[in-house]
Chains A and B, each alone.
Chain A
């Protein structure tokens, strides 16, 4: 087991090295961030001074080595524009993104799981067919489109047309409080209101996947002998569905949810842009558009690291949930 973990970590390290080279080569060789920062009629001397201060006059390979050396220590340089440490900027914004991602995870599970199980239990009911069609819409419509529609509906049209209908906030994060040193907004009413639309938007894609997966797995599980045996024992439907069926469904759902969490964080980039949510994703977009390389690089490294840890965590989670896997690996 330990060997497995070490091996995975080494693979991850390799991936990160490769990515860093690609990213570095790409970003540092193309685009001229200096032009962004000084007025067009600055003379050569001023440009050279700026270049030197950013270390851009060194040969490429030396720049890369400096980059790697710093990276290992978590130092990705200062943001060209904000002057603050790039890594620091990312860490500042991480809680907002995590909040959004986790809220959307909760929503997608809370809404998607019951719907999917229902569709699996009663595949021919009209509600089920509607749910399945809805799920196709859910994962095919682009994230930003969903966000747009929700804004139109809940922040513009409904409040305009129906008197007394609450107008949901369509941008920004709500008021925050400090929780263990991290600023979180879900503990305030205002924060929750601001969190609602973005989290709902982000939950569509994953929710649709969960609906389909839950339905498919439920349909696989229901004809199984052990379900019939449970009925033969005289157990009621609530117990059969709530315990026997659900426990079997949770394994693939948990696996997929875990793996898809990475996708969710990635898609948060779009949602954050639509709702002006001050998270890592919006930071990334802004940095890309303004060629603020240190921040982009720092973001990539953080993301790769995050993905690797996530994959590992999902593997471990899987072994906890499925006793067959856990006990076998202990025996070997």
Chain B
């Protein structure tokens, strides 16, 4: 008896990636969010070139121009302070560009590092199973049961100020989140047949885990990464606002907001307000895009 082989028919005319992109673009809010993110990223990357002034160059500051409202012209006529100046006569627009740079830098680096660590731990736990899994997940659970902000506060109070220390705290606070997600996704994959097949072929475990299981976990990890990025940026801003985050010499948006707080009630709102708007743009943009990305990448919709 002959077995007729059915031709494999491509179910979709588009590649999965194209479908994800087109599904994503269906939501105007999500696209709007993406635009905001792109704007923030652009500003952050090109800050030195597009800022009207270098706010860290003390020589270039004229204290006569301190605390002027938005739209004022500089006393030497060189430029217009579109968003006003702060207590040290720094142009707010420039300060915001540089501040965005630091905020995004800290956020992205911490998320990438936390993702890497967390994913490795999660995949190892899922693949190894048994006691290793139990111990690792115990640690993850304990880390996750505490509010991130308290853990970060304590860590920073111990370690002191500095961007590197902020990064370390953020990474320590976030990796557990990725570990749990990676483990969950990996456990689903582990039971699938291709893992069994690969094991039978005597492929080394590291190869199975990283070359085969990892790509299938990617969609949920991407979604979690975007949400975590927004949280990381918000967390750094909060810590800086509280005075335990980045040092005064490298002000992130959070620190700028903190600097302007004392002037708020006296009517000089622009020193806090505009950095606040910039911060909101970055965070909300990421969340709007990420929220829709989650719906689009939902495993149920992908198949």
Q: B265 contacts which chain A residues (CB < 8 A)?
A: 151, 155-156, 170
Say whether, besides A142-B238, A149-B276, A27 and B157 are in contact (CB < 8 Å).
yes
Bound complex: CA of A26 vs CA of B156, how far in Å? 10
Chain A to chain B contacts (Cβ below 8 Å), 13 pairs: A30-B158, A142-B234, A142-B279, A143-B238, A144-B237, A155-B265, A156-B264, A156-B265, A262-B147, A269-B149, A270-B241, A273-B241, A284-B153
Q: B158 contacts which chain A residues (CB < 8 A)?
A: 26-27, 30-31
Contact of B145 among A151, A274, A285, A307 (CB under 8 A): A307
Q: Which 7 A-B pairs have the closest CB atoms?
A: A266-B147, A288-B157, A26-B158, A140-B287, A142-B234, A144-B241, A266-B150
Please determine whether A145 and B157 come into contact, CB atoms closer than 8 angstroms. no
Please determine whether B157 and A303 come into contact, CB atoms closer than 8 angstroms. no
Give chain B's interface residues, CB within 8 Å of chain A.
29, 142, 145-147, 149-150, 153-160, 230, 234-235, 237-238, 241-244, 254, 257, 261, 264-265, 267, 269, 272-273, 276, 279-280, 283-284, 286-288, 291
Please determine whether A142 and B150 come into contact, CB atoms closer than 8 angstroms. no
Nearest to A297 among chain B residues (CB) is B154
Bound complex: CA of A307 vs CA of B146, how far in Å? 8
Let me know if A246 is at the binding interface, CB within 8 A.
no
Please determine whether A152 and B157 come into contact, CB atoms closer than 8 angstroms. no
Which of A142, A151, A170 has the most chain B CB atoms closer than 10 A to its own CB?
A142
Say whether, besides A270-B149, A289-B243, A300 and B264 are in contact (CB < 8 Å).
no
Q: A300 contacts which chain B residues (CB < 8 A)?
A: 154
Q: A274 contacts which chain B residues (CB < 8 A)?
A: 261
Contact of A136 among B142, B156, B287 (CB under 8 A): B287
Let me know if A230 is at the binding interface, CB within 8 A.
no
Q: Would you give the shortest CB distance from B140 to chain A, in whole angstroms?
A: 14
Nearest to B150 among chain A residues (CB) is A266
What secondary structure prevails in chain A residues at the interface with B?
helix
Bound complex: CA of A266 vs CA of B269, how far in Å? 28
Please determine whether A289 and B244 come into contact, CB atoms closer than 8 angstroms. yes
Bound complex: CA of A152 vs CA of B186, how far in Å? 47
1/0 per position for A168-200, CB-CB distance to B under 8 A? 001000000000000000000000000000000
Q: B280 contacts which chain A residues (CB < 8 A)?
A: 141, 145
Bound complex: CA of A270 vs CA of B216, how far in Å? 39
Bound complex: CA of A263 vs CA of B231, how far in Å? 14
Nearest to A133 among chain B residues (CB) is B29
Please determine whether B234 and A141 come into contact, CB atoms closer than 8 angstroms. yes
Nearest to B239 among chain A residues (CB) is A270
Please determine whether A137 and B284 come into contact, CB atoms closer than 8 angstroms. yes
Please determine whether A26 and B238 come into contact, CB atoms closer than 8 angstroms. no
Nearest to A151 among chain B residues (CB) is B264
Q: B267 contacts which chain A residues (CB < 8 A)?
A: 156, 160
Please determine whether A269 and B264 come into contact, CB atoms closer than 8 angstroms. no
Q: B142 contacts which chain A residues (CB < 8 A)?
A: 15, 18
Please determine whether B149 and A266 come into contact, CB atoms closer than 8 angstroms. yes
Nearest to A25 among chain B residues (CB) is B158
Please determine whether A152 and B279 come into contact, CB atoms closer than 8 angstroms. no
Say whether, besides A155-B265, A269-B153, A307-B146, A136 and B284 are in contact (CB < 8 Å).
yes
Q: Would you give the shortest CB distance from A261 to chain B, in whole angstroms?
A: 11
Bound complex: CA of A151 vs CA of B254, how far in Å? 17
Let me know if A23 is at the binding interface, CB within 8 A.
yes
Let me know if A309 is at the binding interface, CB within 8 A.
no
Bound complex: CA of A18 vs CA of B139, how far in Å? 11
Q: Would you give the shortest CB distance from B227 to chain A, in whole angstroms?
A: 9
Please determine whether A145 and B149 come into contact, CB atoms closer than 8 angstroms. no
Nearest to A291 among chain B residues (CB) is B157
- A residues 256-281 in Cβ contact with B at 8 Å: 262-263, 266-267, 269-270, 273-274
Let me know if A296 is at the binding interface, CB within 8 A.
yes
Q: A142 contacts which chain B residues (CB < 8 A)?
A: 234-235, 237-238, 241, 254, 279, 283
Contact of B273 among A26, A152, A266 (CB under 8 A): A152
Let me know if A125 is at the binding interface, CB within 8 A.
no
Q: B273 contacts which chain A residues (CB < 8 A)?
A: 148, 152
Please determine whether B154 and A296 come into contact, CB atoms closer than 8 angstroms. yes
